[in-house]
């Protein structure tokens, strides 16, 4: 019996070790199940919140307002003073590339005291108010949809003015992008279904059916819309990939190519008349991204050589390396003695709808 004692002790220790191991395993299983239960609950809550937000937005009313309009919600005293002047300096600044001064937005002011109900449904809203803390930011679909609300809150006028200056570029881009989407959405009520652009250049452009193809050549398509006092035009063509240098000579290179395209494809009424870049005004050039590709955006004025005819244009040169080319999209307007901002905005919305697809 005594000789078997070590064996018994070992067996007893083994039994206790197994029991302890089983308790740990059971605790691990319990904790794992508990953790899984907690995580599942959290996911359900988050999913429920997302569904609630989705449901809430589905019941939002449609936003209202003309394209290129902005509702500024601000107390009357602030609007009449330096804060209002700062808002107007940025949001009513002249649009680049137009022959006459036209503001970026048509602004209408709404006092904070009446900002409720139907007055909250404007598509683009700038909300400026005094608050104990300083804050800013853009919210989406707060009171209606689609909608962007840019917020400026500060305890004093000086801080408000600083915030207006700091945020204006971002807010204007948000409001403009919102209007571009709305304009493109409105095109679908009567959509152009011609396929010339797709077959020749492997792209699609969304535009109203009122636009009709005027001319189609080997490397050039001309699309036109007749308006009450003039016409609007869309050009699509290709250039060799490295036609435009990325240095200080870029503007001159653009003008030279732009004029050569006008001479070849856009003639005037008589011999020696053709479209060129207006000599009196240097075009505005920006680097942007369009359809996911590096793009040169140019805004300026065109004129007819040897003839009194002119107007604004917007041009996009898209670097399409997959197809070893520069794809050029241009829109221009001829509308003497009338405002042209909204016409040019429509052309911009058409050109920015570009998508690359198979030919």
Which tens digit of pLDDT belongs to each residue from 275-332? 999 988 889 999 999 999 999 999 999 999 999 899 999 999 999 999 999 999 999 9
| Between 133 and 218, residue with greater pLDDT | 133
Q: In this model, does residue 153 exceed pLDDT 50? A: yes
Question: What pLDDT score was predicted for residue 40?
Answer: 59
Question: What pLDDT score was predicted for residue 47?
Answer: 59
Compute the average pLDDT of residues 192-196: 94
Here the contacts of 224-232 (C-beta below 8 Å, separation 24 or greater) are 227/335, 227/343, 229/335, 229/336, 229/337, 229/338, 230/311, 230/333, 230/334, 230/335, 230/336, 230/338, 231/333, 231/334, 231/335, 232/331, 232/332, 232/333, 232/334, 232/335, 232/343, 232/346, 232/347
Neighbouring residues of 226: CB distance < 8 A, sequence distance ≥ 6: 210
Q: Is 334 helix (H, G, I), strand (E, B) or coil?
A: strand
Question: What pLDDT score was predicted for residue 53?
Answer: 54
Compute the average pLDDT of residues 222-250: 95
Q: In this model, does residue 33 exceed pLDDT 90? A: no
Q: What percent of the chain has pLDDT over 70?
A: 84
Among positive and negative, which fits the CA dihedral 171, 173, 177, 179? Answer: positive
Q: In this model, does residue 36 exceed pLDDT 90? A: no
Q: In this model, does residue 250 exceed pLDDT 80? A: yes
pTM for the predicted model, two decimal places: 0.83
Task: Note the pLDDT tens digit of each residue in 323-357.
Answer: 999 999 999 999 999 999 999 999 999 999 999 99
**Does residue 331 contact residue 205 with C-beta atoms inside 8 Å?**
no
Q: In this model, does residue 35 exceed pLDDT 70? A: no
Q: Is 121 helix (H, G, I), strand (E, B) or coil?
A: coil
Q: For the ranges 51-55, 104-108, 262-266, 341-345, which has the lowest average pLDDT? A: 51-55
Compute the average pLDDT of residues 126-152: 97
Question: What pLDDT score was predicted for residue 59?
Answer: 83
Mean pLDDT of the chain: 89
Compute the average pLDDT of residues 194-220: 95
Task: Note the pLDDT tens digit of each residue in 79-103.
Answer: 999 999 999 999 999 999 999 999 9
Compute the average pLDDT of residues 201-211: 97
Question: What pLDDT score was predicted for residue 8?
Answer: 46
| Between 25 and 147, residue with greater pLDDT | 147
Given pLDDT bands bounded at 50, 70 and 90, which one contains residue 49?
Answer: low
Q: Name the β-bridge partners of 231.
A: 226, 334
The Cα 148–Cα 134 span in angstroms is 20
């Amino acid at each position: 019996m005594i000789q078997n004692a070590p064996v018994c002790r070992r067996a007893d220790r083994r039994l206790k070790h197994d029991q302890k191991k089983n308790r740990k395993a059971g605790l691990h299983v319990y904790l794992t199940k508990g953790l899984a239960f907690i995580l599942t609950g959290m996911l359900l809550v988050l999913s429920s919140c997302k569904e609630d937000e989705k449901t809430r937005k589905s019941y939002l009313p449609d936003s209202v307002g003309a394209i290129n309009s902005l509702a500024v919600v601000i107390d009357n005293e602030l609007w009449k003073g330096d804060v209002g002047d700062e808002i107007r300096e940025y949001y009513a600044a002249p649009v680049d590339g137009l022959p006459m001064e036209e503001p970026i937005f048509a602004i209408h002011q709404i006092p904070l005291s009446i900002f409720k109900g139907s007055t909250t449904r404007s598509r683009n809203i700038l909300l400026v108010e005094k608050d104990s803390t300083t804050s800013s930011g853009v919210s989406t679909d707060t009171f209606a949809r689609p909608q962007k609300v840019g917020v400026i809150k500060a305890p004093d006028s000086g801080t408000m003015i600083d915030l207006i200056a700091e945020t204006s570029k971002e807010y204007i881009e948000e409001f403009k992008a919102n209007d571009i989407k709305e304009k493109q959405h409105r095109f679908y009520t009567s959509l152009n279904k011609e396929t010339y652009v797709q077959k020749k250049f492997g792209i699609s452009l969304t535009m109203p059916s009122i636009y009709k193809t005027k001319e189609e050549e080997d490397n050039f398509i001309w699309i036109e819309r007749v308006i009450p006092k003039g016409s609007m035009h869309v050009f699509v063509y290709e250039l060799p990939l490295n036609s435009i240098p990325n240095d200080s000579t870029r503007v001159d290179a653009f003008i030279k190519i732009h004029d050569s395209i006008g001479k070849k494809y856009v003639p005037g009424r008589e011999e020696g008349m053709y479209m060129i870049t207006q000599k009196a005004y240097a075009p505005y050039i920006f680097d942007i991204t369009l359809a996911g590709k590096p793009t040169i955006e140019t805004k300026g004025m065109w004129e007819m050589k040897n003839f009194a005819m002119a107007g604004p244009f917007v041009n996009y040169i898209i670097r399409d390396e997959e197809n070893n080319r520069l794809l050029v999209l241009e829109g221009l307007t001829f509308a003497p003695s009338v405002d042209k901002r909204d016409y040019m905005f429509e052309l911009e919305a058409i050109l920015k709808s570009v998508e690359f697809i198979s030919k």
